[in-house]
Amino acid sequence: MASLKKLVIRGTLWTLIGYGGSQGLRFGGNLILTRLLYPELFGLMALTNIFIIGLQLFSDLGTSWSVVQNKRGDDPVFLNTAWTVDVIRGFVLWFGCLVIAWPIATLYQHPELLWLIPIVGITTIFSGFESTAIAQLERHLDVQKQVVFELSTQAVGIIIMIIWAAIAPSIWALVAGGLASTFLKMVWSHFLFPGSSNQFAWEKDALKDLLTLGQWIFINTALTFLAEQADRLILGDLFSLSLLGVYGIAFTLSDMPYKVVMSISNKVIFPAISKSIDQPRDILVPKILKNRRPFLLASLLLVVVLAGFGDLLITTLYDPRYLDASWMLPILALGIWPRLLSQTNEPYLFAMGKFQYTTCGNILRLACTIIGIWMGFQYFGNAGAIMGVALNDLFYYLAVNYGLLREGLNGLMQDLLATFLLLGCLALIIAVRLYFNLDLPIHSLLSQPA
């Protein structure tokens, strides 16, 4: 248990380092690219990626999760069967890109999507050939090697984007960087564990284990895609490409707290829980609440900074073309709070194989996203649509916590205390800004057309 605790602590620290480095690269690259490329190109790339990610999530069998959770997670036959499934899936996904390209280009009236989707979709083939060594690193909480691997491949992609954009500013800069990063990741993954490269295999027992867990993951990830990408799918029709690109910038920044907590959940909490989930509830719950407290405080700090000062961040770092992000960011950052509360608890449900609660949560989240954006846009214009996006995580939180209560993992009181602390901090920031005559985001929000 002591060695596991050390692995968790070390894994958490390296995850934070990795996330900080990743966001630093992404943010720095984003600042440079927004000065070299027009917002319309970011909007076009966002639309392209939505449908490719959608294909990936609608066919996700959770092979990586299976490697982490399954007792045969280090068995070469099991690993090679999982890899073979992923390779086949990669080619199927690319064929799917070919099939959907024309209907999507016609629906959104952007002819560029006809060739962008198949070309960017080649990344699905590269991803399919990635070694199962990546999942094994997660299984054994070897986060340090994961961080070096992921940061290096990300840096290569960003550097290529910047160089290409500086020489020939076009959508090809974003495409080339993405392809190069994914290709390097595919090749390098087979050298993470020397002498253990994957080869084709097809064992029935391994396949059965993969599909048993995979059927729930398939449903859950498909609904996750619809719930998380519905905003861009709908806003892609309501907003101009330029405003959609600006929304993408604001959403990316607002999503930072969630991404760091999700990284820790996937790379540290879930693998660690899988080894100790059988403990009695009276022993497990106090440990959960104690270990969860620092994550909540860190998440709270990030949300307070983005919601309280996000508009100043945008106006300071971005040029006037991205000014609309200054009122979007605080709304979206505050809206992500219920999801952060859920993310620090839901790995316990996953470790018990209870995916049905998050599945229901994503159904509610999807319905609320569609209704919220439509009603918000109808009555309050662009600002209303953004507020519709911000409110959807509340219903996901309710579904997840219903599951936690049923499974004897109650953390509602801790959530309430953290939420009151968040609201108190935001009230203090508002008071300070008013005292120093600093405009609040509400001023620019009220100027939006209804």
pLDDT per residue as tens, the chain (450 positions)? 445 566 666 777 777 777 778 878 888 888 899 889 887 888 888 888 888 877 776 666 667 767 776 777 778 888 899 889 889 988 988 998 999 999 988 888 888 889 999 999 999 999 889 988 888 887 777 778 888 899 999 999 999 999 999 999 899 999 999 999 999 999 999 888 766 678 898 888 887 777 766 566 666 666 776 777 778 878 878 888 788 888 988 988 888 888 777 777 666 666 666 555 666 666 767 777 777 888 888 889 989 999 988 888 888 888 888 888 889 999 999 999 998 988 877 777 777 767 788 888 888 888 888 999 999 999 888 889 999 999 988 988 999 889 888 887 778 889 999 999 999 999 999 888 888 877 766 555 555 544
Distance CA 247, CA 242 (A): 9
Whole-prediction pTM: 0.66
Distance CA 355, CA 219 (A): 9
Q: Which structure tokens are listed for 35? A: 């000065």
Q: Which structure tokens are listed for 173? A: 């800069």
> Residue 153 has what pLDDT?
93
Distance CA 378, CA 236 (A): 16
Distance CA 330, CA 251 (A): 10
User: Could you tell me the sign of the dihedral formed by the alpha carbons of 349, 350, 353, 358, in that order?
Assistant: positive
- Per-residue exposure over 299-310, b if at least 16 CB sit within 10 Å of its own CB, e if not: bbebbbbbbbbb
> Residue 303 has what pLDDT?
92
Query: Is the CB of residue 354 less than 8 Å from the CB of residue 400?
Result: no
Which amino acid would we find at residue 412?
L
CA 53, chain centre distance (Å): 11
Residue for token pair 């992609």: 157
The helix/strand/coil state of 132 is: coil
Query: Is the CB of residue 58 less than 8 Å from the CB of residue 95?
Result: no
Residue for token pair 């084709």: 200
Distance CA 128, CA 132 (A): 10
